[in-house]
Amino acid sequence: MANISFLSGSIYSTAFFGITVYIFFVVIRYLIKFQRMRHFFDALPGYSTKQKHWIRGNLHLYVKNDSVDVNQITTLTRRFPKFYRVWFGPFTPVVSLVHPDSVKVLLKTAEPKPVGHGPTYRTLIPWLGEGLLIAGGSKWARSRRLLTPAFHFEILKGYQTINNQCVDILINILEKYADTGESFDLFQLISNCTLDIILQSAFSYKTNCQHDRLQHSYCKAITEVTKLASRRNRNPLMMFDIIYNMTSDGKLFKQNCDYIHSVADSVIDSRKKILDNGQKDVKKYLDFLDILLSAKDENGIGMSKTDIRAEVDTFMFEGHDTTTSAISWILYDLAKHPEYQKMCQNEVDKALENNPGFVKWDDLGKFEFLTQCIKEGMRLHSPVPLISRQSTKEFTLEGITFPPGTFFGINIYGLHHNSAVWTNPTKFDPDRFSKDNATKMDSFAFTPFSAGPRNCIGQHFAMNEEKTLITRILERFTLEPDPDHTVSPHMAAVMRSRNGIKCIAKRRKE
């Protein structure tokens, strides 16, 4: 019995010793690999090693007041005009690309969005699922093929009535401000209008969100999850699900996601039942959900309910705040430059003289100078300032070969403010996008909708919406910046202002 006990103890001791040795060598191998990686990335252009915090990396310099510091981006881009490295914490280097020559190397590929730990899109998965924004590989390729018909010009034509009807409501709200001369938060009013448009375009969901956004439970939930997701991404500690899910924010995020999903599921089930029963929909246009329900791949297989919901939620996410940001900043730029605003108004008056108060599909191509102003506004205040990729293979930039798994930041704001690419980049100058100048421009110098195979599938939808809203507002009003308000740019998921964008509307025509 004693021998058995001794033998048993000896086996356990040997096993414990073997496991300990194995763990020791795994740790040593990891440390050696990490040291090599650290030396490689430390040698790249960027903050010096003396500026690296042992926990935060370079975030204490790169992030100020809970958002990426635009001044840091412009300073680093001036020093390192092709790319630079930033440490996000002690273990994650991000290579920030800020020049067409470096940006195009990544954007010409379909390299996936990062969804692991680190500066990734993973925190959006509970809300958006594996929609087109987040999916990679064959799933992304299949979804892209299935969704492309949803943005065909013939489908987009049907949304033009929605755009105009929603702007009618916005115009009536602005009329009241014009009567009083009171300033208003342009960003908030535009946000309410674009939410109205996207809800109706996505799945014909009508609300009173422009008048009472936070009283409608679905609109309130959308607003809440957007705010919570942005707040989470600014706190490295909240990247760990086990911690975040125990916080009040984490519980509220899940609660709102569940509600958003339940509404989408209910609409999908109802619409599918109509289709299965062969009933006709009374709508005069096909919304995004209609297209998804009828989409089938080359094998005749359609999208699952979960996939459809993910794409509807992604369409909502990508098509709301981004267009809000673009329209708000463009109008603010025009308010600050009355000479350009007047040129746009003259163009609008001429285009709409036979049909005032409504922008038809055929009118959208008539606004040449306004389009220049829209593009310049999106350059100066990039609506989506940062996107990212994680490489699955080696990439060579400027003679340096980067290993698979490297985090690359496509720094759209840095690219659009790179003085090696743009003359006087902080100046609002619509002439940059005149026909003559546009033909000389590198196709990857201006990428507000990204570029390459993973570009924004809804960019024509967004441009049509932007043109319609801006045109209708300028047809009726002249905007001026509130002289008592200083706008404070804030780089979050989209370019915002910390304290709103306050303007004054003056009526042009009675």
Q: How far apart (Å, rounded) are the C-alpha atoms in residues 274 and 291?
A: 14
Instruction: State the pLDDT at residue 414.
Output: 98
Instruction: State the pLDDT at residue 1.
Output: 53
pTM above 0.85, yes or no: yes
Looking at residue 117, the DSSP 8-state letter turns out to be S
* pLDDT of residue 224 exceeding 60: yes
Q: How far apart (Å, rounded) are the C-alpha atoms in residues 503 and 505?
A: 7
Instruction: State the pLDDT at residue 236.
Output: 72
Residue 209 known to bind ligand: no
Instruction: State the pLDDT at residue 285.
Output: 77
* pLDDT of residue 464 exceeding 80: yes
Residue with tokens 């546009």: 438
Beta-sheet strands, E only, within 369-501: 386-390, 395-397, 400-402, 407-411, 477-481, 489-491, 495-497
pLDDT digits (tens, 9 = 90+) for 59-89: 889 988 777 889 999 999 999 999 999 998 8
pLDDT mean over 261-287? 81
pLDDT mean over 299-309? 93
Q: Are strands 92-97 and 407-411 parallel, antiparallel or unpaired?
A: parallel
Which band of pLDDT confidence, cut at 50, 70 and 90, is reported for residue 226? confident
Q: How far apart (Å, rounded) are the C-alpha atoms in residues 384 and 46?
A: 23
Beta bridge partners of 390: 407
Which band of pLDDT confidence, cut at 50, 70 and 90, is reported for residue 377? very high
pLDDT digits (tens, 9 = 90+) for 145-163: 999 999 999 999 999 999 9
Least Cα distance to 443 among 107, 78, 141, 112 occurs for: 107
Q: Which stretch of 260-274, 321-335, 368-382 has the lowest confidence by average pLDDT?
A: 260-274
Instruction: State the pLDDT at residue 78.
Output: 97
Which band of pLDDT confidence, cut at 50, 70 and 90, is reported for residue 223? confident
Which band of pLDDT confidence, cut at 50, 70 and 90, is reported for residue 9? low
- Position 458, amino acid: G
Q: Are strands 477-481 and 67-68 parallel, antiparallel or unpaired?
A: unpaired
pLDDT mean over 235-255? 91
End-to-end CA distance of the chain: 105
Instruction: State the pLDDT at residue 5.
Output: 58
Q: How far apart (Å, rounded) are the C-alpha atoms in residues 245 and 457?
A: 32
Which band of pLDDT confidence, cut at 50, 70 and 90, is reported for residue 227? confident
pLDDT mean over 354-382? 97
Contact 88, 57 (CB under 8 A): yes
Torsion angle defined by CA atoms of residues 433, 434, 439 and 445, in that order, rounded to the nearest 10 degrees: -10
Q: Are strands 502-507 and 184-185 parallel, antiparallel or unpaired?
A: antiparallel
Residue 277 token pair? 């029963």
Torsion sign across C-alpha atoms 150, 196, 461, 324: negative
Q: Could you tell me if residue 45 is inside a domain?
A: no
pLDDT digits (tens, 9 = 90+) for 75-132: 999 999 999 999 988 889 999 999 999 999 999 999 998 876 655 688 889 999 999 9
Instruction: State the pLDDT at residue 121.
Output: 82
Q: Could you tell me if residue 85 is inside a domain?
A: no
Q: Could you tell me if residue 488 is inside a domain?
A: yes
Instruction: State the pLDDT at residue 181.
Output: 96
Domain count across the chain: 1
Q: Could you tell me if residue 92 is inside a domain?
A: no
Burial class (CB in 10 A: 0-12, 13-18, 19+), 1: exposed
Residues with Cβ within 8 Å of residue 148, at least 6 apart in sequence: 457
How many Cβ atoms sit within 10 Å of the Cβ of residue 381?
A: 27
Which band of pLDDT confidence, cut at 50, 70 and 90, is reported for residue 492? confident
Q: Could you tell me if residue 219 is inside a domain?
A: yes
% residues pLDDT > 70 (the chain): 95
Secondary structure (DSSP) of 311-363: HHHHHHHHHHHHHHHHHHHHHHHHHH-HHHHHHHHHHHHHHTTTSTT---GGG
Contact 221, 209 (CB under 8 A): no
Q: Which helix (H) or strand (E) holds 107?
A: helix 100-107
pLDDT digits (tens, 9 = 90+) for 419-455: 999 999 999 999 999 999 999 999 999 999 999 999 9
Q: Could you tell me if residue 435 is inside a domain?
A: yes
Q: Could you tell me if residue 137 is inside a domain?
A: yes
Secondary structure (DSSP) of 424-455: STTS--GGGGSHHHHHHS-TTT--BTB-GGGS
Torsion sign across C-alpha atoms 118, 121, 122, 127: positive
Q: How far apart (Å, rounded) are the C-alpha atoms in residues 45 and 76?
A: 9
Residue 396 token pair? 């060579």
Q: How far apart (Å, rounded) are the C-alpha atoms in residues 29 and 483?
A: 61
- Position 174, amino acid: L
User: Cα 480 from chain centroid?
Assistant: 28
Instruction: State the pLDDT at residue 280.
Output: 64
Looking at residue 184, the DSSP 8-state letter turns out to be E
Q: How far apart (Å, rounded) are the C-alpha atoms in residues 479 and 499?
A: 18
Q: How far apart (Å, rounded) are the C-alpha atoms in residues 103 and 438?
A: 19
Axis-axis angle for helices 159-180, 186-203 (nearest 10): 160
Residue 509 token pair? 């025509």
Q: Could you tell me if residue 89 is inside a domain?
A: no
Instruction: State the pLDDT at residue 22.
Output: 78
Instruction: State the pLDDT at residue 337.
Output: 99
Domain housing 254: 120-383+427-507
Instruction: Please calculate the CA angle 354-357-361 and round it to the nearest 5 degrees.
Output: 75
Which band of pLDDT confidence, cut at 50, 70 and 90, is reported for residue 12? low
Residue 503 token pair? 């303007």
Which band of pLDDT confidence, cut at 50, 70 and 90, is reported for residue 237? confident
The mean of the pLDDT values for the chain is 91
pLDDT digits (tens, 9 = 90+) for 312-344: 999 988 889 999 999 999 999 999 999 999 999
Q: Give the CA count within 13 Å in the CB-facing half-sphere of 400.
A: 15
Provide the CATH number for the domain around residue 127. Answer: 1.10.630.10
